[in-house]
Amino acid sequence: MAAPKILAFAGSLRTDSYNKKVLKIAVRGAREAGGEVTEIDLRELAMPIYDADLQASDGFPANAKKFKELFAAHAGLLIASPEYNFGMSGALKNALDWASRGEGKEPAYTATQGKFAVMMSASPGIYGGVRGLIQLRTVLAGMRITALASQVAVTSAKESFNADGTLKSPEITAEVVALGANLVKFLGKVTS
């Protein structure tokens, strides 16, 4: 049986992002469980704000097309979402908007429907970014993506990570590793 293909990305563009750090831990869990993980950085795939007029006149911008193609080629998603003003980041929402659009006679959601996602967040605040995950879960449902129930929100992120990007807490590390591993196990059951 082929290894489940998983696309991993964070909604934060910042180089030293807590969400990029927590994502790497979940990626490790997915790879250890036998998943084939493609990690991407949305900063390297800069996309204009979604604009239906732009799409109609010029088609998909190159990076939006690449992101959509990557999305379509993977059965599972590992998404780390920062929380900005009680919601997800604009960069993440914009990328998801591009991925959900159809091209030509292709209907919307062709690249997104039927996918399965696991969400996580890390925030300097006491809620760990969980309010952004609530919004992300709603958006994923609208894109016909099933977000699995398990999620992790790392609180007090400034104090929770070591200098090398690992988490100080072995218990939270195990939870995040399990997110990646459990997605691989789930995909193995539903795609076999």
- DSSP code of 2? P
Q: How many independent structural domains does the chain possess?
A: 1
Domain containing 101: what range? 5-190
> Over 70: is that where the pLDDT of 192 sits?
no
3-state secondary structure 67-136: HHHHHHCCCEEEEECCCECCECCHHHHHHHHHHHCCCCCCCCCCCCCCCEEEEEEECCCCCCCHHHHHHH
Q: What is the mean pLDDT of residues 69-77?
A: 97
Q: What is the mean pLDDT of residues 94-103?
A: 97
- DSSP code of 186? H
Q: What is the pLDDT of residues 22-51, one digit of tens each?
A: 999 999 999 999 999 999 999 999 999 999
- CATH number, domain at 41? 3.40.50.360
Confidence grade of residue 191 (pLDDT, cut at 50, 70, 90): confident
Three-state secondary-structure class, residue 173: helix
